[in-house]
Amino acid sequence: MSMVAPLLPSDPRQLGSYWLARRLGAGGQGVVYEAYDSLGDRVAVKALREDFITDAYRDQLRKEVAALSRVAPFCTARIIEADLDHVPPYLVSEYVPGPDLQNRVDKDGPYRPDDLHRLAVGIATALASIYQAGVTHRDVSFSAVNDRACSSSPSMGSTVQAASSAA
């Protein structure tokens, strides 16, 4: 999903109280934006495609967002806000900087064994924590993981902090 790009003319400029700055990625469910709150703090906002949402899906998202609050705090980027009744529905989480694994490996080559081990343990820890909380994982791929986070969903794609600082 890595594709940092300017906002498109069709993109909203604001969702709730968050000002959108640029696109961080887009996928089948929606678009992830770099955004800023009223204090200037950087956040990640994922807006779902309006045609993607049914009432049943919205109810499932509510359950998954609630489950995220039970994920161990050392494993997740904090969920700041979710407005699933907004058009489009969106979720706001802490911004987790860094290149995705695909870009990181393309630029710097393979991880060294010790760094790779730390990264794998961090991702496994994060995944175990989110599964234990009842959150369904939707996407672990090279473009959905970085050294510090695994894009892990409730279906909206919140970020899960991998307990790793491998660089």
Confidence bin at 160 (pLDDT 50/70/90): very low
According to CATH, the topology of domain 5-161 is Transferase(Phosphotransferase); domain 1 (1.10.510)
Tokens of 16: 């709730």
**HSE of 33 in the Cβ direction (CA atoms, 13 Å)?**
24
- Pick the range with the lowest mean pLDDT from 19-33, 124-138, 144-158: 144-158
Catalytic positions are 139
Model pLDDT for residues 101-133, shown as the tens digit of each residue:
888 889 999 999 998 898 888 888 878 887 888
SS3 50: helix
Rounded CA-CA distance 78/25 in Å is 19
Where are the domains positioned within the chain?
Answer: 5-161
The predicted model scores a pTM of: 0.79
